[in-house]
Amino acid sequence: MLDRPRFLWLFFSLSGRVNPSAYVLAGLLPLLVQLFLLYQFSRAPQGTAASQYWALAWWIAVVVSTWSTFALTAKRFHDFGKPTYYALISLIVGAILLVILAFFKSDPGPNRYGKHTNAPAES
């Protein structure tokens, strides 16, 4: 049976600690919800009310899961005796990494992973 106060604490509270296995397992739930909503969006015919519904549901899930991931990470850092702001730093570093990778230029010409960018490797 679902223990609602404990569920809300796990995903939305910044207090307490979680061990590695709880961190990984709880972190999978928001990811699975997002993947399910994205799958439903991809199945809906483009431009219909259903596709707009699934897109909105996915965006809401992204916002909620961002907070829940932050809360889980904060509790995981608490397990190391570190303060909550370490979780904030990990969110910033993750976003910065995405930005940095977006600005790195591709290798000109072929490399060991393929002949062209934006294409699968040829065998």
Divide the 123 residues of the chain into consecutive groups of 10 and give the mean pLDDT of each group.
Answer: 80 88 90 95 94 96 93 88 85 74 73 64 64
Say how far residue 100 (Cα) sits from the centre of its chain. 18
The pLDDT value given to residue 101: 64
User: Which of 100, 70, 66, 103 shows the shortest CA–CA distance to 86?
Assistant: 70
Distance CA 89, CA 94 (A): 9
Q: What are 111's strand-pairing partners?
A: 114
The Cα angle at residue 26 between residues 24 and 31, in degrees rounded to 5 = 90
The pLDDT value given to residue 1: 55
Helix pair 4-12, 20-43: axis angle to 10 deg: 90
